[in-house]
Amino acid sequence: KAGVTQTPRYLIKTRGQQVTLSCSPISGHRSVSWYQQTPGQGLQFLFEYFSETQRNKGNFPGRFSGRQFSNSRSEMNVSTLELGDSALYLCASSISGGAPETQYFGPGTRLLVL
């Protein structure tokens, strides 16, 4: 089975711009979670989507948003980029997002905001 894929792998943006990141889960997985990883804050949960609905949300400003399509693919968007948004953005998929389920991570998108 193919793993979780994320595109693009690298991005360079400037402050004020917006960016859209894409995540394709493992085939058959319907839950997609997004995380931000920075050296200072570590891995932090952004949000989770299941059946095209946001089911959980972390403590991030409204500039961070996402959506999920009927094929379970997910996108996240960051508007009005700030320097502090520079990070590795990871998505993870699981079958249904149940607590015992393993989340499998994609390779990540590394975003640099200048």
Q: Is there binding between residue 35 and another protein (CB under 8 A)?
A: yes
Q: How far is the CB of 76 from another protein (least distance, A)?
A: 14
Binding another protein (rule: CB under 8 A), the pick from 17, 20, 67, 104 is: 104
Q: Is there binding between residue 23 and another protein (CB under 8 A)?
A: no
What residues form DSSP beta bridges with 84? none
Strands 31-38 and 10-13: unpaired
Q: Is there binding between residue 107 and another protein (CB under 8 A)?
A: yes
Buried b vs exposed e over 2-18: b needs ≥16 C-beta within 10 Å?
Answer: eebebeeeebebeeeee
Distance CA 33, CA 112 (A): 21
Residues that bind another protein (CB under 8 A): 31, 33, 35, 42-45, 48, 50, 55-56, 58, 90, 92, 94, 96-108
